[in-house]
Chain A
């Protein structure tokens, strides 16, 4: 048995692992694991106390089992016990278990936090690091609440060891990412920036990640980091390869730190200070020069590290976009890489060039590489490289090369990998539309797309071609002729039938003069495809037929015959049957005038951003798609959307496509920021459009009248709609609002997608509540809306003005958190809680969530201090039976004195000492502030430790308040 084991061998563990490895089948493995689980369970439950070593060993086994992919539902307590062990090895395993397996079980978190707190204050650097690693690994909201203020202190304290500083910096970064609201900027901020000057390279490396993240969020506060970063970078770049000792990696000085420094600088515009800027440009030139030097080592690690810095420097140059000289040098460098023998470098060069292509300084330089890129698309063995080549072609496309690029992409499509076909189709469709000089080319291209890759042509694409044909009367005849020819093919794609049916239904008359495409020939051609098509397409064809009756009265008899036959009029599909029946009836009873009105040609579509673009954005994520825009500003009419001859509607579209760079020199911030921030908001609403009206569905309103012809459009079976019907609705979350009676901050709700954190403050009868919505996934939430409602009475006269000071943004990016503020005013006492309703789209499915907001009457308490004498006097004054509410109940939580005190203080009242003659009892006093009146409240809580019971008595100047408070509080203890 190769039980290689270092340090402390845990023999039992090694034996268990080799047992598992020797299992011949999955069943045997499961059997062995169950046996072990039973054994561990009995050990943990046994009477004999386990020693630390055994506990460690069993916890480690559980961890192993978990990592094999099995569920573990016990052992957490034992792991937590290990945390407080004095032995490093036990503590370490305990922390590992917690890091890998902890869930947000709040009871457990409290214990863990205690152990962490002890270790953080132990002043033993090894223990401190373990504790910090654990916080960073778990990174939960509760941990942030407990430690967010402590860690900055450790980080900047003068006597903290370097290794602890490193852990603290990254731990703080983690907490800042999960709970930015809890990490408060302060006096430590400026000292963190100066860690860039630290002598210890490891400290700088760790700190810079933190500084970069903080700078992105608070650029002004961290501005000083720019000059510090430049001088640090300059020192590294100019150092000899041995200067930095162990921070030199394969002859490259501090590659990780260099990359991080260059990335930090990308958070800012170019330095304004001439000297700093000069120094930086020098660094960038040195980096570019070094790329031309012969390598100091043949090892791939050497060239990787060196090129990592080079690519990061190029990113910075592109980000600045103000140094034409550097931009062109960067482009040439990447050009060399395009033909490098290392696949990785070819891949990265293609990727990097995509961004260069969007700079006006380097766009032309990028275009010179078109042949190489086309060649890459044709010959690269690796699909991911080919995909980058396709991306670059898309990015470098403009009017001058559009025909060539579209042709190459089309021919590549014939053999393209299935995984990228849909995206390629979208890109071809977008380019064809954007750079079309004549419409016939556009129509040809799209029909070719359908012919070559029909399965991958989404609805957006064929909707779009129809929209454009309908809006452009000069292409209609050509379109009709072309689809007619395309339909002649014995096997044509169903999407072709859809486009053909729609276009001939509208414009078949334009080619009917030719006997080869007479009305009846057109109809027979379409109808020959009918039986092979799916229901939605058949429905579309039926609509085309009724349009034929209007266009060509001579086809009426033939078509009525078709509609009348059993397979239509008695079709098992309701939609088809209904269309057949209604169209048949319409054609036989309506006069030609009525027919002509009802079946009139489609009116032009309102122009809008292409839904294809929206789809591509959705596929690639916002910001990833930059349509080559360079020419938008300059180009003249004659293109599909750019031309002015069609009036305002078409102009609108080109405006929405373009994030036209202004020709002025100050492009830096704008260029990088604008498309990023603009895209998500528009994409959100556009996606909804796709499902509602962007398709040919929109103009169906034109088919007005009696409305029974409600849908000349194909019935769209979009996934968005169907999933909306099965909306998962969470039930109101009562338990969680109960948790907030005695506290104001915490996590209100959490599931796999969303975390809602809450912070609130109350003064007098006013309150303010901050809601933090965190997207836990890596995918954006679209159409994110929240509404707050006050059910029933609450609305009118109990609790008023619950308004959001500002609406939440409609899009929450993956991993991002947004904030909402609610203002609350208490008019008079109340007992219901307001409801928070949240809706958003996650991957097409509508999510709907209703929660009770933890606004309870006790939030408006003002504590009142009073003497024993006063207390009892008032107590007697409030002696009417309805003023008193009393409950006797069993303890549900710890009866510990400190816990009880904390809860009573959290309630908002004053906790009065030395009032009750029995020191075991608690009495409290407070005034509830509402707008109209003040309600005095006295409370007495009598615990009975033996019986584990409480008696709670409330006396208030208003009876409804007594009752409500009593109800609320009885759940708390």
Chain B
């Protein structure tokens, strides 16, 4: 299974953190520090895999953002690399030409999309269409909500 997914910028600013096993805040902070220093120090054209403690760390850079995914030792590195790519594709499809700012300003959306794709560190749905369909469906629900809310405000 996957243990955690971190998104951080080239400056080491954390943009998204997803933990698939319970961990204390202290452990999390330590891992974030370790990951950012380790990954940012890598030379270009190095391989995308690292060993870290008893985990494998798979990372890839997309424009200004690093995606860093830790998996358990017996898991498959290449398919994990494509997990990252599929997530990027999902974000891209939703935001349209996704960039770091989209994830900063709509962090909650980035989490929702991730939840539709992965649960508990395992893949729930690999089809881009299916994931997008559920995200769009929930956006529809949101728009309904908003109109409802405006009414409340108008009358209240």
Contacts and interface: CB of A to CB of B under 8 A. Distances in A.
B45 A8 contact: no
A933 to B, nearest CB: 46
A4 B79 contact: no
Contacts of B139: 6-7
A246 B108 contact: no
A136 B119 contact: yes
12 contacts: A4-B102, A53-B149, A67-B107, A139-B120, A140-B22, A201-B127, A205-B125, A259-B76, A304-B82, A343-B46, A344-B78, A778-B53
Interface in B78-105: 78-79, 81-83, 85-86, 94-95, 101-102, 104-105
Contacts of B112: 92, 96
Nearest to A305: B82
B105 A126 contact: no
Contacts of A166: 119, 124-125
Interface of B: 1, 3, 14, 16-17, 21-27, 29, 43, 45-51, 53-55, 73-74, 76-79, 81-83, 85-86, 94-95, 101-102, 104-109, 111-112, 115, 119-130, 134, 137-139, 141-143, 145-146, 148-149, 152, 156
Contacts of A205: 123-126
A695 interface: no
B94 A173 contact: no
Contacts of B50: 384
B142 A778 contact: no
Given A202-B126, A205-B123, A205-B126, A301 B82 contact: yes
A174 B104 contact: no
Interface string A1-38: 01111111000001001100100000000000000000
Contacts of B48: 344
Interface string A721-755: 00000000000000000000000000000001000
Interface in A72-100: 87-90, 92-93, 96, 100
Given A202-B130, A307-B78, A752-B26, A778 B123 contact: no
Contacts of B79: 255-256, 259, 304-305, 308, 312
Contacts of B123: 205-206, 209, 256
Given A51-B149, A344-B49, 10 more contacts: A8-B145, A52-B149, A126-B134, A166-B119, A178-B22, A205-B124, A247-B126, A304-B82, A312-B79, A621-B73
B82 A814 contact: no
B106 A170 contact: no
Interface size class of A (residues with CB under 8 A): 35 or more
A71 B25 CA distance: 9
B95 A382 contact: no
A912 interface: no
Contacts of B78: 304-305, 307-308, 311, 344, 348
A5 B95 CA distance: 9
Contact of A171 (B55, B82, B120, B148): B120
The 9 closest A-B pairs by CB, nearest first: A308-B78, A174-B120, A308-B79, A170-B119, A209-B122, A88-B141, A343-B47, A246-B127, A136-B120
A617 interface: no
Question: Which of B74, B105, B112 lies at the interface centre, i.e. has the most chain A CB atoms within 10 A of its CB?
Answer: B105
Contacts of B104: 17, 21
A64 interface: yes
Question: Which of A14, A92, A814 lies at the interface centre, i.e. has the most chain B CB atoms within 10 A of its CB?
Answer: A92
B126 to A, nearest CB: 5
Interface string A131-155: 0110011011000000000000000
Interface string A305-326: 1011001100000000000000
Given A7-B142, A69-B14, A87-B148, A382 B43 contact: yes
B101 A4 contact: yes
Contacts of B16: 67
Contacts of A301: 82, 85
A166 B152 CA distance: 36
Nearest to B115: A133
Nearest to A752: B24
A363 B134 CA distance: 50
Contact of B107 (A64, A71, A92): A64
A69 B29 contact: yes
A621 B56 CA distance: 13
Contacts of B51: 384, 387
Nearest to A391: B51
A214 interface: no
A304 B107 CA distance: 29
Nearest to A104: B22
A771 interface: no
B77 A255 contact: no
A312 B76 contact: yes
A779 interface: yes
Contact of A126 (B45, B73, B141, B145): B141
A304 B81 contact: yes
Given A67-B17, A133-B115, A5 B54 contact: no
Interface string A210-236: 000000000000000000000000000
Question: Which of B77, B124, B126 lies at the interface centre, i.e. has the most chain A CB atoms within 10 A of its CB?
Answer: B124
Nearest to B1: A209
A462 interface: no
A962 B124 CA distance: 56
Contacts of A6: 94-95, 106, 109, 139
A89 B139 CA distance: 8
A876 interface: no
Interface in A178-227: 178, 201-202, 205-206, 209
A742 B55 CA distance: 41
B54 A255 contact: no
Given A249-B82, A311-B78, A167 B124 contact: yes
B70 to A, nearest CB: 10
Contact of B126 (A52, A136, A256, A752): A256
Question: Which of A89, A167, A255 lies at the interface centre, i.e. has the most chain B CB atoms within 10 A of its CB?
Answer: A89
Nearest to B78: A308
Contacts of A256: 79, 82-83, 123, 126
Interface string A747-791: 000001000000000000000000000001011000000000000
Nearest to B79: A308
A661 interface: no
A390 interface: no
A584 interface: no
B155 to A, nearest CB: 12
A93 B1 CA distance: 26
Interface string A826-862: 0000000000000000000000000000000000000
Contacts of B109: 6-7
A683 to B, nearest CB: 14
Contacts of B24: 752
Contact of B101 (A2, A53, A311): A2
B83 to A, nearest CB: 8
Contacts of A814: 54
A207 to B, nearest CB: 10
Contacts of B55: 778
Nearest to A348: B77
A206 B125 contact: yes
Interface string A617-653: 0000100100000000000000000000000000000
A928 interface: no
Nearest to A18: B105
Contacts of B146: 8, 89
A385 interface: yes
